[in-house]
Amino acid sequence: MKYRIVSLGCPKNLVDSEHLAGRLDHAGHALSEDADLVIINTCAFIADACSESIETILEEARKISGNGKRLVVTGCLVDRYGKELPKLLPEVDLFVGRGSCGDIERLVDVNGACLSGDCAAEGSSIECSPRRVLTPAPTTYLKIQEGCNNRCSYCTIPSIRGPLRSLPIDHIEEEFLTLLEKGFREFNIIGQDITSYGRDNGSDIKKLLARLLATKGDFFIRLLYMHPKGIDDALTEMISNDERIVKYFDIPIQHSEDRLLRSMKRGYTKKELGDLFGKIKKEMPDAVLRTTVMVGYPGETEEDFSGLCAFVGEWEFDNLGAFMYSREKGTTAARIKGHVPKSTKKKRYQRIMELQKDISKRRLKRFLGKQTQVIVEAREAGTTTGRTLLQAPDVDGIAFIRGNCAVGEIRQGKIVGTLDYDVMVELGGVNGTDK
């Protein structure tokens, strides 16, 4: 059987899709654009993600309608809405909850036909399954946990993906070593909150990093999705002292004003955030700071928003992602009074992104003339692009690369120009010998 996977949403979902592909490969099936079976791994974090998932399902259903091909839907949309979906989307042959993805090869037969039943019951989870990486070397992700225990007032993740479940260190190390042997060099460690890793099994993120860093080799580790209250002195010291950990801090704060932080159940204060960012900037002046903020949370006043803008201006994050609050059924925040009009949320989103654009442009200039390692990712119409190690995949800017190189190489170069979010890098050496 030939199959194709459409993966929506975050990198954590991408890794789940790669485990699905690994199981199907292991069962003797083949990944192909001309597929007998189309699997859509959906996202349902907020309303916009649900809409994108449904639109994708309908689009794929139209493509394969009437030609005997089958459509399977899995992921967060299935876990969130469950048995409501078959009536809403009769075009789908089978809905598979994430708890049954470990049995995907059993749930479809050798002809690509789906077993009877609209929603597969709970079976084997996917995290410890074989994995087929769907992105080209040298970049990949290491997902170290599933679920979350933080219970932020606006977030649906705990209800969709369940409580925190940390993968065993031995399993993560085995996957890391396998990927290293296959030529992957940039490992982006992900989870809903990676600083909470191990709280459910007696381990912690520092023990995991120590295990991975005990491996000799030419590789880099980037830590993504770090909760502010989980970053302690020992973790920042570890990041500072090992050159194989990229000096990149992805720390979503959501807001800066104490009244809203309490309502969001974030577990920290504005002062504690300032202390953390001050410490990082003092100890690692060239470190990159990325954060995520939310505008239009229920009860957010113009004064609150101005406070957030002032905080962003004070700490000057290198990169910032913003999103408008989405009222999600079943969350505590959905029941709070004082919801902000959509038009106001849009204006605040635009204002904070304009503020950040100027900050990012100014912050990038400090790297002018400095040496950097750059990952060569694409060449099209005579233009070569990639990323420096201080740019995370998909969410940050890119590097425009000058010099002879091949896609997939990690090369040494000098930053010779900066734009709003992007940089220009001039390579040194030839044929990748300057790694």
**Per-residue confidence (pLDDT) for residue 83, from 0 to 100:** 82
> With bands split at pLDDT 50, 70 and 90, how would you rate the model's confidence at 185?
very high
Could you tell me the pTM of the whole model? 0.92
From 11-20, 103-112, 150-159, the region with the lowest mean pLDDT: 103-112
Q: Is the pLDDT of residue 158 over 70?
A: yes
Q: Is the pLDDT of residue 54 over 50?
A: yes
Identity (one letter) of the amino acid at 391?
Q
> With bands split at pLDDT 50, 70 and 90, how would you rate the model's confidence at 127?
low
- The ranges assigned to domains in the chain are 2-120, 139-365, 368-427
Rounded to whole angstroms, the Cα distance separating 167 from 307 reads 39
Strand ranges of the sheet holding 248-250, from the earlier edge strand across to the other edge? 248-250, 288-295, 319-324
| pLDDT tens by residue, 189-203 | 999 999 999 999 999
Say yes or no: do domains 2-120 and 368-427 share a fold: no
**Per-residue confidence (pLDDT) for residue 123, from 0 to 100:** 45
SS3 string, the chain, reads CEEEEEECCCHHHHHHHHHHHHHHHHCCCEECCCCCEEEEEECCCCHHHHHHHHHHHHHHHHHHCCCCCEEEEEEHHHHHHHHHHHHHCCCCCEEECHHHHHHHHHHECCCCCECCCCEECCCCCCCCCCCCCCCCCCEEEEECEECCCCCCCCCCHHHHHCCCEECCHHHHHHHHHHHHHCCCCEEEEECCCHHHCCCCCCCCHHHHHHHHHCCCCCCEEEECCCCHHHCCHHHHHHHHHCCCECCEEECCCECCCHHHHHHHCCCCCHHHHHHHHHHHHHHCCCCEEEEEEEECCCCCCHHHHHHHHHHHHHHCCCEEEEEECCCCCCCCHHHCCCCCCHHHHHHHHHHHHHHHHHHHHHHHHHHCCCEEEEEEEEEECCEEEEEECCCCCCCCCCEEEECCCCCCCEEEEEEEEECCCCEEEEECCCCCCCC
Structure-derived torsion over alpha carbons of residues 121, 122, 124, 125, reported in degrees to the nearest 10: 120
Instruction: Please give the angle made by the CA atoms of 391, 166 and 10, to the nearest 5 degrees.
Output: 40
- How much is the mean pLDDT over the chain? 92
Is the distance from CB of 53 to CB of 75 less than 8 angstroms?
A: yes
Is the distance from CB of 290 to CB of 250 less than 8 angstroms?
A: yes
| Integer angstrom CA distances of residue 287 from 178, 190, 240 | 29, 19, 9
> With bands split at pLDDT 50, 70 and 90, how would you rate the model's confidence at 288?
very high
**Per-residue confidence (pLDDT) for residue 121, from 0 to 100:** 45
> With bands split at pLDDT 50, 70 and 90, how would you rate the model's confidence at 66?
confident
**Per-residue confidence (pLDDT) for residue 111, from 0 to 100:** 47
Q: Is the pLDDT of residue 431 over 50?
A: no
Q: Is the pLDDT of residue 211 over 90?
A: yes
Question: String of b and e for 64-84 (b: at least 16 CB within 10 Å)?
Answer: beeeebbbbbbbbbbbbbeee
pLDDT average, residue stretch 307-318 = 98
> With bands split at pLDDT 50, 70 and 90, how would you rate the model's confidence at 242?
very high
Rounded to whole angstroms, the Cα distance separating 435 from 427 reads 11
Q: Over pLDDT 70: what percentage of the chain?
A: 92
139-365 belongs to which CATH class?
alpha beta
Tokens of residue 97, six digits: 């909850």
How would you class 289 by CB atoms within 10 Å of its CB: exposed for 0-12, middle for 13-18, buried for 19 or more? Answer: buried
| pLDDT tens by residue, 349-382 | 999 999 999 999 999 999 999 999 999 999 998 8
| pLDDT tens by residue, 91-121 | 998 898 877 666 777 677 644 455 444 554 4
pLDDT average, residue stretch 399-415 = 96
| Integer angstrom CA distances of residue 30 from 23, 25, 126, 375 | 11, 6, 19, 29
> With bands split at pLDDT 50, 70 and 90, how would you rate the model's confidence at 260?
very high
pLDDT average, residue stretch 223-241 = 97
**Per-residue confidence (pLDDT) for residue 429, from 0 to 100:** 55
> With bands split at pLDDT 50, 70 and 90, how would you rate the model's confidence at 329?
very high
| Integer angstrom CA distances of residue 232 from 193, 205, 226, 384 | 14, 11, 11, 39
Nearest to 15, CA basis, from 192, 162, 170, 182: 192
Rounded to whole angstroms, the Cα distance separating 209 from 212 reads 5
Q: Which CATH architecture group holds 368-427?
A: Beta Barrel (2.40)
In a 13 Å sphere around the CA of 187, the CA atoms on its Cβ side amount to 27
2-120: CATH topology is Rossmann fold (3.40.50)
Instruction: Please give the angle made by the CA atoms of 413, 415 and 419, to the nearest 5 degrees.
Output: 140
